[in-house]
Amino acid sequence: MTHTHNAEDLMDTSSSGTGASPTILNSPNSGGPHIESALAKADRLRGRPGSVFWTSVGLIGAFTAWASLSPSSLSTVMTAAMDWVAQSVGWSYLVVTLGCIGLLIYIAISRFGRIRLGAQDSKPEFSTWAWLAMILSAVMGIGLISYGVAEPISHFASPPHGLAQAGTMEAAVRAMQFSYFDWGPHAWAVFGVFGLAIAYSTHCRNNPGLVSPMLRPIFGKMVDGWFGKMIDVFAIIATLFGTTTSLGLGASQIGEGVNRVFGIPSSLFGQILIIAVITVIFTLSALSGVHRGVKYLSQGTMVLSVGLGLYVLFTGPTNFISNLFFRSLGEYLSSFFAVSLLTPGTPEDVQWMQWWTYFMMAWWLSWGAFVGVFLAKISKGRTIREFVAGVMIVPSVVFFVWFTIFGGTAIKFDMENGGQIGAAALDDVNSAFFATLAELPLSGLTSIVAIILVVMYFVSGADANTFVLSMMSSRGTLEPTKPVLTTWGLLTGLCAVVLLIVGGLGALQQAAMLSALPFTVIVALLGVGLVKELRNDPRFDRTRSVTQSDLNKILTPQ
């Protein structure tokens, strides 16, 4: 007797083999046993958090207690560990992020690019505009304000690796080149690998929304036990510390904006108060779900961002900005591999890399799991080729344009006025954005718009983060319970406050970098696991290359 199966049948039968161990239940319809998928099991048990949740909460609680009881010892340990990472294995951040770019390009242009994340007839849940808006604002939107001026003007005032003379046009080009490097494809490719792996695992293999199931092609059944749970705990902790860095940056930006507009000095107490208020807001937003809270917040921030960007472009030095963009883009592309693998040669270079390149790459790695799960949640129905374009290419172009508009405007003003913005940025990065707006007409109004943008980016990013943390700590269910959502919202705000008290922005950056270190290995393994899974996709059973062995089986009489 022969049996025929279509692609969807094969997808269904394969899902239990690639997900977590299936559970056999009695079927209410047939009276016989049936196999419950890992995702269905996660949904059924979503009200009973397991060991991953309690272990993660316990470790974060222990860290918070350490920071509260002995902040000096915590600061000493984190600083020593960070120095070792920068001097010894910092290069791994560069190699892994470059590898992510190559992997996504390969997958997109290969036959795998036409695989749909879901059933063959599934359609995207969100419009392309809403999808891109959520990617940009919920993922890294707050960086547009925090670093949109601060990074280019800092590099202009103090060129990286001594590659140009400060204050010159060459320094301006180098400043934009390194800003593109930090916020372009290297960052988004990390998110893309995590996101694609988890989206394929979730929507095509019916696995729960976790990192560990995608490592099954490499580690086998080990991911169903303590080893897989350890990976998921790492993902949760790295995600939390990556987000607390954003919260600290957001609170600092809001404090600086309020100081500029209303004359209220920015202080540690004020930043803590801001985090407390925003924590309540984003927790309530997360409780409303992705389709309402994150979607509408993201679209609102995009509209305001486009308006502010166009205003600065046309009221600022338009010709200078456009010329700087193309010249810097050419330098970025021509020196792509040289800069991508540029490691420090002096102690001064090590320190610079620690606070710029290494920190940025580690920050993206620490965000990888969070962004991956979030992208998987919103990308069902997209093809892999659409996913790569929407996650790596479009956001990179948007960030290049934004950084050139705002960073280029600040650079032009500094060239004409003696470097005031650059000096202020080197002293306090939070002052750069508002100092640039102060040089343009209607600075009071635009500063208020910028403050609103920071708050909205702040809320949408933390909102998505809270949702993802809840998913990852609830066996990967796509619908976490409200008590779990509330717990992670409060813990995120609490950790941001504790780290600010211990060491300010520096402590936040160190926590993100250290928590990202295990992910230099995990993301590399994820890439290998993803390719293995794609090669076994049942939808290619009828389109794969035919070998001589296959022909022999067909031609040989049975």
Least confident of 5-14, 127-136, 403-412: 5-14
For 449, the token pair is 């718009």
* Residue 294 pLDDT level (bands cut at 50, 70, 90): low
Placement of tokens 């009489």 in the chain: 557
pLDDT for residue 350 is more than 70: yes
Q: How far apart are alpha carbons 75 and 178 in whole angstroms?
A: 29
Residue 114 DSSP symbol: G
Digit-coded pLDDT (tens) for 170-208: 999 999 999 999 999 999 999 999 999 989 988 888 888
SS3 content of the chain, % helix, strand, coil (to 5): 80, 0, 20
- Tell whether the model's pLDDT for residue 125 goes beyond 70: yes
Q: What angle do CA 368, 99, 218 make, to 5 degrees?
A: 70
Helices assigned H by DSSP within 33-90: 38-44, 51-69, 71-88
Please report the pLDDT score of residue 63 as a whole number. 82
User: Per-residue pLDDT averaged across 233-262, rounded?
Assistant: 79
β-sheet bridge partners, residue 545 = none
Cα end-to-end distance, the chain, whole Å: 14
Distance CA 98, CA 186 (A): 6
Which tokens sit at 182? Answer: 């930090």
* The predicted structure's pLDDT at residue 183: 93
Contact 507, 64 (CB under 8 A): no
Kindly state the greatest CA–CA separation across the chain.
89
Decide if 365 contacts 96 (C-beta within 8 A): yes
Give the count of alpha carbons within 13 A of 273, CB side only. Answer: 8
Look at the block and give the residue holding tokens 């400043």. 175
Tell me the residue type at 545.
Answer: S
CA 439/CA 443 separation, integer angstroms: 7
- Residue 278 CB-half CA count within 13 A: 34
pLDDT in tens, 516-532: 788 888 889 999 999 98
Mean pLDDT lowest for which of 227-236, 240-249, 395-404?
Answer: 240-249
Residue 371's closest CA among 215, 536, 516?
516
Residue 493 near residue 263 (C-beta atoms within 8 A): no
Cα 438 from Cα 424, distance rounded (Å):
13
DSSP string over 167-179: TSHHHHHHHHHHH
Q: HSE, CB side, 13 Å, CA atoms: give it for residue 431.
A: 13
Phi, then psi, of 463 in degrees rounded to 5:
-60, -55
**Mean pLDDT of all residues in 463-486:** 82
pLDDT value at 117 more than 80: yes
Which of 288, 278, 236 minimizes the C-alpha distance to 49? 236
Sequence length of the chain is 558
Contact 176, 408 (CB under 8 A): yes
> In CATH terms, is domain 9-536 a member of 1.20.1740?
yes
Q: How far apart are CA 138 and CA 133, in angstroms?
A: 8
Q: Tell me the pLDDT tens digit for each residue of 482-494.
A: 888 888 888 888 8
Which carries the bigger pLDDT value, residue 74 or residue 16? Answer: 74
pLDDT recorded at residue 31: 43
pLDDT over 70, % of the chain? 84
- The sign of the torsion formed by the CA atoms of 170, 171, 172, 173 equals positive
Q: What is the pLDDT of residue 121?
A: 81
Q: Are 191 and 181 spatial neighbours (Cβ–Cβ below 8 Å)? A: no
pTM: 0.82
| pLDDT number for residue 35 | 45
Give Cα separations from 202 to 6, 39, 117, 214 (angstroms).
Answer: 20, 8, 9, 9
| DSSP designation for 121 | T
**Predicted confidence (pLDDT) at residue 113 exceeds the cutoff of 80:** yes
Sketch the domain layout of the chain as residue ranges.
9-536
